[in-house]
Amino acid sequence: MSGVIRHVTISGRVQGVGYRAWVHSEATSRGLEGWVRNRRDGSVEAVLSGPEDTVSEMIAACRRGPSSARVDGVQADAGTSDLLNLRGAGERFAFLPTL
């Protein structure tokens, strides 16, 4: 896929509130590729890939999250194709196991 890859970490009350499902739904509806997972430290981690403007819009949406979440911070860094390829073969956007 052409475009950008961003590695995003979201902190706050983002586990147990449907945040991962929300990221999956929002990213899929925007036509993005990538994955999302919980981290043992209580954060949510995602890799988003697609057109730069669409990825930027998704990162902005992550700062709000679903209504049941409380987002304290969003860290967005450049991602790599190696990170993107942690998803299963043939998956556009995946849920990965907690790390």
Tens-digit pLDDT profile for residues 78-87: 999 999 999 9
CA torsion 90-21-37-63 (nearest 10°) is 120
What is the mean predicted confidence (pLDDT) over 45-49? Answer: 98
Determine the distance from the C-alpha atom of residue 92 to the mean position of all C-alpha atoms in its chain, rounded to a whole number. Answer: 12
pLDDT at 91: 94
The domain made up of 4-89 is a member of CATH 3.30.70.100: yes
Catalytic residue among 6, 37, 38, 87: 38
Residue 85 designated active-site: no
What is the mean predicted confidence (pLDDT) over 75-99? Answer: 95
pLDDT at 1: 46
For the chain, the structural domain boundaries read: 4-89
3-state secondary structure of 13: strand
Q: Using only C-alpha atoms, what is the Rg of the chain? A: 12
Residue 38 designated active-site: yes
